[in-house]
């Protein structure tokens, strides 16, 4: 099947408006007869469910947690971008569009990104109307901060808990519709497969996680908003339950999976401390507004610090290497995430890592505390303030900005980051790849939509900070509710979709057979054993830098782990009860297939772009030496994979990317 992105014709700035004017609509009386399933209730799914219900559709929403409010969007810290230009610093829709395409290393679809930038300002208006308590200045107007990869301040925030506040906003909109009976909420339910009738998505099979009951749910369209697949690495900043199952199941039923190798390794996470580690914790990128990243200049100092004979605060300015400021003077500590992560890895690989594992760099707030302290002393007319007083005044400002993050750090690491620099190291955070969708956010299966992190469309090969929240809410509040109407307009006479059909029978049987297999297998090894093994291969061979040899090995190794898993996995407990091990087994089984496709995709893409760094494709000389080298001639396309049985047999379809409004350039942050 040829890929049709269905991007409307016309100048980029008019596409969305013109398209909306011409799109098919469903009249309000008919919407009452149309059901929509939304799987996942994070920012994308939650906002979509609420909006579709407001429009009048009957929505069934599903979450594996006990409340929609617990989806992992809640953990997003730093902020949400919007082209409001409240700061008057030259921001515009075009600039946000440009920054996002450039930040994504020219591997995203222009028309989608422009639309995202266009609706971004509405999101802020909407959220304020819902009572989201964004940070404000003393005049009562909204405050902004800056994030990596941009030269303006366009990020709106609510302390270090922006995702939480935005999700609670979407959740409150959902609650209003749940109370009205327009959303039927299925908490503690997990989608285990999609059901197609006559080629169209017409329902799902879900498991009630409390009783174990397998349920059939039908609808005229299915929306998958189940987030990213970062947990394929075992260790990531994702929630423990975050998984690829829904996305992978729809892939196996005909939805193409795009760019699986585009993964974001976030530069500022708390380093791992031991083998028992279950997850990694992110420290918001907003910290790079005020924190300076460094390692010692001399290896002797590194050694002394690791042995504990020297403290980082003992090192003078001359003995420190602020490597981001050194390498990227224009953007400094605010280079995009992929660049910052690789730079940290480069220093640590060269032996400059500052903790026992050799995988940590410093994020230092001393300079910011001093700067703010002096500023405060001036504001409060304190002349001849002592160093201690300046420090105290500055600390109060830093605490107001990042207090909850500092507290989180202290609780985990048991060190006071006001007194000694934080230690950070990159960790898997976000997946730009995902289910392929067209301009309408529809997958290659009619009636099956995919929104938010679960799809691939807006971030190219690298996502800029504070853009995930923007995309989730844009898709859910403002894009999908329009585009889905165009499809559903043909369904006004269809009537309820019955669930007693052979199509539902067949898929339900597949689902039940797999569950029965797990509980009856009585193998020797736990699910986590396999998940950790997979994670190690992924991190070592499909991590921050990749090469042909490693990727080929990864494909072989992942396949072997998968075969061992199906022979020897042990899942205690039964099928008809709450059984967390059974839930994990199903998810890991899918990760074990995705992992192999991931490696295959990375192997096929013989260029470096964004988060995908191929060692064979780096600049060899000149001022950009060592930086990622893109190959626009051969690889300016989206890799959309069609499932063919085994992950290794997947067939590649290319969506060629056209850049009409932005010139393709080497991405420079120097």
Partner 1 sequence: MNLTLKIWRQKDASAKGQMVDYKVNDISEHMSFLEMMDVLNEQLVNAGEEPVAFDHDCREGICGMCSLYINGEAHGPDRGITTCQLHMRMFKDGDTITIEPWRAAAFPVIKDLVVDRMAFERIQQAGGYISVNTSGNTQDANSLPISKHAADEAMDAATCIGCGACVATCKNSSAMLFVGAKVSQYALLPQGQVEAADRVKNMVAQMDLEGFGNCTNTGACEVECPKGISLDNIARMNRELMKAAIK
Binders of partner 1 in range 151-180 (CB under 8 A)? 158-159, 161, 164-165, 168, 171-173, 175-176, 178-179
CA distance 423 to 25: 53
**Shortest spacing between CB 197 and partner 1, in angstroms:** 30
With a CB cutoff of 8 Å and minimum separation 6, the contacts of 21 are none
Q: Does 542 bind partner 1 (CB under 8 A)?
A: no
Phi, psi of 46, deg, nearest 5: -65, -45
Alpha-carbon torsion, ordered 219, 223, 227, 229, to 10 deg: 80
**Shortest spacing between CB 1 and partner 1, in angstroms:** 34
Residue 246 · residue 434 · CB < 8 Å: no
**Shortest spacing between CB 558 and partner 1, in angstroms:** 22
In the bound state with partner 1, the residue whose beta carbon lies nearer, of 262 and 530, is 530
CA distance 47 to 58: 15
In the bound state with partner 1, the residue whose beta carbon lies nearer, of 284 and 443, is 284
Q: Does 261 bind partner 1 (CB under 8 A)?
A: no
Q: Does 273 bind partner 1 (CB under 8 A)?
A: yes
Q: Which of 11, 276, 500, 623 binds partner 1 (CB under 8 A)?
A: 276
**Shortest spacing between CB 372 and partner 1, in angstroms:** 17
CA distance 546 to 613: 6
Q: Does 570 bind partner 1 (CB under 8 A)?
A: yes
In the bound state with partner 1, the residue whose beta carbon lies nearer, of 209 and 334, is 209
Phi, psi of 217, deg, nearest 5: -130, 130
Q: Which of 472, 490, 474, 485 is nearest to 442 (CA)?
A: 485
**Shortest spacing between CB 615 and partner 1, in angstroms:** 32
Q: Which of 1, 29, 129, 388 binds partner 1 (CB under 8 A)?
A: 129
**Shortest spacing between CB 95 and partner 1, in angstroms:** 19
Per-position DSSP letters for 273-339, written without gaps between them: --TT-----B--GGGGGT-EEEEESSHHHHHHHHHTSS-GGGS-GGGEE-HHHHH-TTTGGGS-HHH
Three-state DSSP at 544 gives coil
CA distance 418 to 82: 31
Q: Does 264 bind partner 1 (CB under 8 A)?
A: no
Binding mask 430-459 for partner 1 (x = CB under 8 A): ------------------------------
**Shortest spacing between CB 245 and partner 1, in angstroms:** 15
Instruction: Identify which range of 218-226, 310-318, 407-415, 558-566 contacts partner 1 by CB under 8 A.
Output: 407-415
* Beta bridge mates, 58: 35
**Shortest spacing between CB 477 and partner 1, in angstroms:** 5
CA distance 194 to 448: 9
Q: Does 365 bind partner 1 (CB under 8 A)?
A: no
Three-state DSSP at 641 gives strand
CA distance 363 to 282: 13
In the set 107, 337, 605, 630, the catalytic residue is 337
Q: Which of 86, 328, 331, 539 binds partner 1 (CB under 8 A)?
A: 86
CA distance 83 to 519: 51
**Residue 337: active-site member:** yes
CA distance 521 to 627: 48
Q: Which of 151, 299, 356, 412 binds partner 1 (CB under 8 A)?
A: 412
Both structure tokens of 258: 């795009």
Q: Does 54 bind partner 1 (CB under 8 A)?
A: yes
Q: Which of residues 198-217 bind partner 1 (CB under 8 A)?
A: 210
Q: Does 278 bind partner 1 (CB under 8 A)?
A: yes
CA 591, distance to chain mean position in Å, is: 16
Q: Does 15 bind partner 1 (CB under 8 A)?
A: no
For partner 1 (CB under 8 A), the number of binding residues is: 81
What DSSP character marks residue 7? P
What are the CA-CA distances from residue 8 to residues 18, 456, 541, 636 (Å)?
A: 8, 19, 39, 20
Q: Which of 282, 295, 390, 603 binds partner 1 (CB under 8 A)?
A: 282
Q: Which of 66, 314, 516, 615 binds partner 1 (CB under 8 A)?
A: 66
Q: Which of 43, 123, 594, 597 binds partner 1 (CB under 8 A)?
A: 123
CA distance 641 to 619: 29
Q: Does 484 bind partner 1 (CB under 8 A)?
A: no
Q: Does 128 bind partner 1 (CB under 8 A)?
A: yes
Q: Does 407 bind partner 1 (CB under 8 A)?
A: yes
Residues involved in catalysis: 337
């Amino acid at each position: 099947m040829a890929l049709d992105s269905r991007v409307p014709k016309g100048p980029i700035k008019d596409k969305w408006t013109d398209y909306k004017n011409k799109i098919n609509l469903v009249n309000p009386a008919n919407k009452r007869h149309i059901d929509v399933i939304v799987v996942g209730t994070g920012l994308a799914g939650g906002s979509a469910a609420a909006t579709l219900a407001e429009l009048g559709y009957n929505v069934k929403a599903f979450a594996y947690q006990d409340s929609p409010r617990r989806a992992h969007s809640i953990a997003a810290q730093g902020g949400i971008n919007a082209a409001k230009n409240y700061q008057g610093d030259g921001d515009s829709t075009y600039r946000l569009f440009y920054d996002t395409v450039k930040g994504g290393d020219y591997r995203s679809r222009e028309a989608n990104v422009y639309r995202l930038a266009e609706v971004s300002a509405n999101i802020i208006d909407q959220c304020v109307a819902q009572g989201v308590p964004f940070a404000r200045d003393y005049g009562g107007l909204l405050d902004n901060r800056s994030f990596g990869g941009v030269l303006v301040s366009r990020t709106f925030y609510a302390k270090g808990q922006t995702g939480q506040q935005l999700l609670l906003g979407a959740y409150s909109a959902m609650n209003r519709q749940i109370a009205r009976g327009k959303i039927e909420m299925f908490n503690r339910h997990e989608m285990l497969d999609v059901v197609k009738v006559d080629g169209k998505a017409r329902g799902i099979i879900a498991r009630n996680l409390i009783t174990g009951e397998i349920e059939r749910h039908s609808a005229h369209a299915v929306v998958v908003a189940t987030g990213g697949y970062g947990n394929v690495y075992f260790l990531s900043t994702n929630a423990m339950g975050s998984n690829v199952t829904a996305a992978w199941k729809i892939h196996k039923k005909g939805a193409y999976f795009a760019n699986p190798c585009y993964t974001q390794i976030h530069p500022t996470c708390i380093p791992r401390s031991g083998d028992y580690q279950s997850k990694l914790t992110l420290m918001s990128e907003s910290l790079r507004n005020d924190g300076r990243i460094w390692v010692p200049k001399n290896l002797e100092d590194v050694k002394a610090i690791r042995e504990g004979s020297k403290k980082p605060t003992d090192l003078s300015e001359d003995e420190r290497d602020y490597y981001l400021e050194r390498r990227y003077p224009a953007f400094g500590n605010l280079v995009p995430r992929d660049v910052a992560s690789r730079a940290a890895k480069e220093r640590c690989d060269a032996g400059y890592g500052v903790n026992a594992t050799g995988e940590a760099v410093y994020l230092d707030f001393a300079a910011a505390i001093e700067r703010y302290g002096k500023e405060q002393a001036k504001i409060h007319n304190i002349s001849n303030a002592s160093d201690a007083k300046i420090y105290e005044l500055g600390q109060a400002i830093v605490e107001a900005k990042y207090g909850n993050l500092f507290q989180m750090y202290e609780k985990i690491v048991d060190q006071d980051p006001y007194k000694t620099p934080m230690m950070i190291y990159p960790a898997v955070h976000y997946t730009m790849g995902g289910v392929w969708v067209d301009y309408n956010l529809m997958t290659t299966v009619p009636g099956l939509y995919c929104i938010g992190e679960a799809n691939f469309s807006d971030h190219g090969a690298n996502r800029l900070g504070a853009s995930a929240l923007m995309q989730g809410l844009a898709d859910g509040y403002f894009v999908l509710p329009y585009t889905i109407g165009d499809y559903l307009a043909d369904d006004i006479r269809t009537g309820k979709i019955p669930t007693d059909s052979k199509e539902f029978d067949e898929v339900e049987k597949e689902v039940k057979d797999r569950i029965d297999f797990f509980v009856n297998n009585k193998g020797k090894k736990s699910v986590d054993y396999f998940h950790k093994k997979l994670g190690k291969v992924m991190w070592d061979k499909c991590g921050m830098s990749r090469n042909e040899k490693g990727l080929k090995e990864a494909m072989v190794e992942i396949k072997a782990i998968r075969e061992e898993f199906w022979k020897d996995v042990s899942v205690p407990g039964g099928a008809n009860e709450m059984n967390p091990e059974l839930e994990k087994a199903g998810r890991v089984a899918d990760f074990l297939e995705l992992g192999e496709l991931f490696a295959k995709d990375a192997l096929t893409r013989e260029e470096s772009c964004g988060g995908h760094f191929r060692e064979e494709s780096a600049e060899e000389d000149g001022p950009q030496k060592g930086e990622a080298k893109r190959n626009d001639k051969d690889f300016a396309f989206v890799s959309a994979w069609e499932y063919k049985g085994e992950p290794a047999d997947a067939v590649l379809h290319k969506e060629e990317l056209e850049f009409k409004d932005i010139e393709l350039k080497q991405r420079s942050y120097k």
